[in-house]
Amino acid sequence: MDAAVEREWIQEKLDIGKEMLYLTRDEVAKTGLVEEDILELTRSALVAHGKKEYEMPAKIGVHPYEEVFYHAMPAYVPAKNAVGLKWIECYPSNPSRYNLPQTTGLLVLNDTESGCPLALMDATWVTAMRTPAVTALAAEALHPDAESFGMFGSGLQGIEHCRFIVHTLKKLRKVYIYDIKEEAMDNLIKTVQPQVDVEIIRGKNPEAVTKSSQVLSSATVILLDTLAVVKDKWVSAGQTIIPCDLNTFWDPLISKRADKYIVDSAEEHRHFAAMGYFPDGLPEITCETGEVLAGFSKGREKAEELIVCSNIGMAVCDVVVGKEVFKRALENNMGRILPL
């Protein structure tokens, strides 16, 4: 939709500058966007990033305790007339301490013409959807004929990764999962198996999952020090590893010796390295995920290449998906219009 037409349409439902739409976590999840929609929206954000048609400074953050972070994630994507800020936190011990998610947050969207806030929404769902969409799109670009996928971590992200990956890896037959918590794996299988045609198999241990899977991902915890759960010697030529929890889960040697080390944002990775997140040093970056999706950089060139594609999360994806959530909610009279 043309930006001026879109603004007029929004103005009919919301008095821009005087009102904004508030959406709860539940409302955000119920606007009717399905996996295919999220994949296309996320693809457009990644391609815009690959074409350098965006503005997105590296996350700035505050850290009240060790191992926790709050990040301010602003972005502007002209192609979608989407501008906003995600304010997100990550507290790795939230699930055990408070029975709360590790990651919560809010997304603010603004009107690009006047700058006025248009919407405030819970960011949990948008984060939970756009993150596996990035992994699934990277997997499609880097290893489209994979028949096996291994997922470390069976929490919120693990569940969504197993739901999304079947949409892009069309030859997938087996999904191996592993989590330190048995009940998390039980829950993933109970939730996802009825929704997908591939077989979801509980991995015996990280070694077995690593050795059984052509494409692997991890969504466990992000820590300053690496856990190196997956050993370098278990990883073989031709595998594709797409973590969304930085380098924490993987032996740092794996990324260092990979034929290609692709990242969603080189700037973000350097920023995290400067904060101490790559104690063994940031591996040499080959290119960015969006550049591969936009066709500017090569993905897999040889079957035997070992490729690591680390996606730490980009606000361009949040504002593009969030903008569509906002428009759908407005169209369907969802949420609460609040005075500014």
Ligand X SMILES: NC(=O)c1ccc[n+]([C@@H]2O[C@H](COP(=O)([O-])OP(=O)(O)OC[C@H]3O[C@@H](n4cnc5c(N)ncnc54)[C@H](O)[C@@H]3O)[C@@H](O)[C@H]2O)c1
> CA 133, CA 41: separation in Å to the nearest integer?
9
Q: Interface mask (CB under 6 A) for ligand X, residues 160-179, using x and -?
A: ------------------xx
SS3 281: coil
Q: Which of 21, 184, 309, 330 binds ligand X (CB under 6 A)?
A: 184
Give the length of the chain: 340
CB 185 within 8 A of CB 149: no
CB 141 within 8 A of CB 165: no
Contacts within 8 Å (CB) and 24+ apart, 324-327: 324/33, 324/37, 324/41, 325/23, 325/28, 325/31, 325/33, 325/121, 325/125, 325/126, 326/21, 326/23, 326/109, 326/118, 326/119, 326/121, 327/6, 327/10
Q: What angle do CA 298, 302, 308 make, to 5 degrees?
A: 65
Q: Which of 44, 102, 110, 210 binds ligand X (CB under 6 A)?
A: 102
The pair of structure tokens assigned to 152 is 């470390």
Least distance between ligand X and beta carbon 17 (Å): 32
Binding residues for ligand X, rule CB under 6 A, total 30
Closest CA to 3 of 105, 83, 67, 85: 83
Interaction between residue 39 and ligand X (CB under 6 A): no
Residue number of the CB closest to ligand X reads 155
Closest CA to 132 of 153, 107, 102: 153
Least distance between ligand X and beta carbon 262 (Å): 14
Interaction between residue 244 and ligand X (CB under 6 A): yes
Interaction between residue 155 and ligand X (CB under 6 A): yes
Least distance between ligand X and beta carbon 261 (Å): 16
Interface with ligand X by CB under 6 A: which range of 51-59, 154-162, 194-202, 330-338? 154-162
By beta-carbon proximity to ligand X, the closer residue of 81 and 168 is 168
By beta-carbon proximity to ligand X, the closer residue of 101 and 322 is 101
Q: Which of 3, 60, 180, 237 binds ligand X (CB under 6 A)?
A: 180
Interaction between residue 286 and ligand X (CB under 6 A): no
> CA 161, CA 150: separation in Å to the nearest integer?
10
Least distance between ligand X and beta carbon 1 (Å): 27
Q: Which of 239, 311, 320, 329 binds ligand X (CB under 6 A)?
A: 311
Interaction between residue 265 and ligand X (CB under 6 A): no
Which residues make up the interface to ligand X (CB under 6 A)?
Answer: 90, 95, 101-103, 127, 131, 152-158, 178-181, 184, 219-222, 227, 229, 244-245, 311-313
